[in-house]
Amino acid sequence: MISVASARIARKVRLTSSDILIIAENFLAAVTVHRIGAEARLDSATWMNRSVVLKQRVVKSYRHPTLDKSLQTFRIKNEVRLMLEARRAGVSVPIIYSVDLAENRIVMEEIPGMRVKDALESLPSEKAEGVCRKIGEIAARLHANDIVHGDLTTSNMLLDDDRIVVIDFSLGSKTSELEDKGVDMHLLEEAFHSAHYKRSELYEAVKDSYVRAYPAGATVLKKVEEIEKRGRYTRKE
Ligand SMILES: Nc1ncnc2c1ncn2[C@@H]1O[C@H](COP(=O)(O)OP(=O)(O)O)[C@@H](O)[C@H]1O
Ligand SMILES: [Mg+2]
Task: Verify whether residue 151 is a known catalytic residue.
Answer: yes
Residues 97 and 48 in one domain: yes
Q: pLDDT tens, 111-163?
A: 999 999 999 999 999 999 999 999 999 999 999 999 999 999 999 999 999 99
106 lines ligand 1 (CB under 6 A): no
Does residue 71 sit within a domain?
yes
Residues 49 and 149 in one domain: no
Res 12: pLDDT: 46
Residues 119 and 98 in one domain: no
The percent of the chain in helix, strand and coil, each rounded to the nearest 5, is: 55, 20, 25
Catalytic residue among 151, 168, 184, 208: 151
Q: Tell me which amino acid residue 188 is.
A: L
Q: What are the residues whose beta carbon lies below 5 Å from ligand 2 (ion)?
A: 156, 168
Per-residue pLDDT of the chain (237 residues; tens, 9 = 90+): 444 444 444 444 455 555 555 555 556 665 677 777 778 899 999 988 899 999 998 878 788 888 888 889 999 999 999 999 999 999 999 999 999 998 899 999 999 999 999 999 999 999 999 999 999 999 999 999 999 999 999 999 999 999 999 999 999 999 999 999 999 999 999 999 887 777 888 999 999 999 999 999 999 999 999 999 988 877 655
Residues 104 and 215 in one domain: no
Q: Provide the CATH number for the domain around residue 101.
A: 3.30.200.20
Does residue 2 sit within a domain?
no
Q: Which domain holds residue 53?
A: 8-109
Q: pTM for this one? A: 0.87
Residues 20 and 76 in one domain: yes
Alpha-carbon dihedral sign for residues 87, 80, 58, 24: negative
Which of 59, 81, 109 terminates a domain? The answer is: 109
